[in-house]
Amino acid sequence: RLPPFVAPGRRQFLADARPSPPRQEGEPDAVRLEREGDAAFHRRSLPEAERLYEAALRIAKNPGDLLLKLSDVAFLRGDLAAEKSLREQIFGSLDPR
């Protein structure tokens, strides 16, 4: 059983809270992959969402949202260590001092 979802500073999954804008002609591949990952996340197809987010992350110019979305996937998979590791790449250490 997973604990209640409480991410730093928010209480919704990023893909649910900040939906991708409609697809635009000529958009970068990273944006297209992230959008496809969001669609998979909404269907809770977690392996597909993870694969798409990771592909986008490899070529993205601004990886922050992708790291957060991957941390949400890790949380839903029950991999709390991976979730923490991904969040710490953005926020720094989450361990109490």
pLDDT tens for residues 21-57? 666 676 789 989 999 999 999 999 999 999 999 999 9
pLDDT band at residue 16 under the 50/70/90 scheme: confident
pLDDT band at residue 93 under the 50/70/90 scheme: confident
pLDDT at 6: 57
pTM of the model: 0.81
Q: What is the mean pLDDT of the chain?
A: 84
Q: What is the mean pLDDT of residues 9-13?
A: 67
Give the closest residue to 56 by CA, choosing from 70, 41, 77.
70
pLDDT band at residue 13 under the 50/70/90 scheme: confident
> Do residues 74 and 66 make contact, with C-beta atoms less than 8 angstroms apart?
no
10 phi-psi bin (left φ>0, alpha ψ -120 to 50, beta other): beta
